[in-house]
């Protein structure tokens, strides 16, 4: 009878150990699934960040291209104004605050401040053809 009890207890212990082993295996599988899901989410987050970085770079490059185009356009207008002023010569009189020549930075500043190149020329009386 004592031996049977010990066998019964040993069988119960073995059954409990099997359950713990199964539980540990299930726990490991869940942990692996969670790790895989986390990796996938990190990939998506990284892809979103990469896309955002690319969009920022694209926007910056477009802004730089637009600035270069505006600069070329302003330089072209500046040349026309300089030519127009030089052809009229000294018959024009300007107040001391009005400059006959515009450097590039001054032209850019005036354009920003006055809302465009046309407004600057209207204020000083220059007409572009």
As a whole number, mean pLDDT of residues 114-129 equals 59
- Predicted TM-score (pTM) of the model is 0.39
Residue 81 CB: number of other CB atoms within 10 A? 20
Instruction: Mean pLDDT check: name the lowest of 16-30, 50-64, 87-101, 111-125.
Output: 87-101
Nearest to 129 by CA among 85, 90, 93, 84: 84
Nearest CA among 65, 76, 79, 67 for reference residue 112: 67
The DSSP string of 19-42 is HHHHHHHHHHHHHHHHHHHHHHHH
- Grade residue 96 by pLDDT with cuts at 50, 70 and 90: very low
User: Mean of the pLDDT values across residues 25-52?
Assistant: 94
Map tokens 């009890």 to a residue: 5
CA distance 67 to 64: 5
Q: C-alpha angle with apex 17: 10 to 23, nearest 5 degrees?
A: 160
SS3 79: helix
Residue 92, pLDDT above cutoff 50: no
Residue with tokens 């127009």: 84
Least confident piece of the model among 12-16, 49-53, 64-68: 64-68
Residue spans per domain, the chain: 2-124
């Amino acid at each position: 009878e004592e031996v049977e009890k010990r066998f019964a207890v040993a069988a119960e212990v073995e059954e409990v150990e099997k359950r713990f082993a199964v539980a540990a295996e299930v726990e490991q599988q869940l942990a692996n699934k969670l790790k895989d899901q986390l990796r996938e989410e990190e990939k998506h987050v990284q892809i979103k960040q990469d896309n955002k970085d690319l969009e920022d770079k694209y926007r910056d490059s477009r802004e730089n291209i637009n600035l270069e185009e505006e600069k070329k356009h302003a330089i072209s207008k500046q040349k026309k104004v300089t030519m127009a002023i030089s052809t009229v010569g000294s018959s024009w009189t300007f107040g001391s605050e009005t400059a006959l020549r515009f450097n590039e930075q001054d032209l850019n500043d005036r354009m920003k401040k006055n809302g465009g190149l046309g407004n600057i020329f209207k204020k000083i009386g220059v007409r572009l053809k």
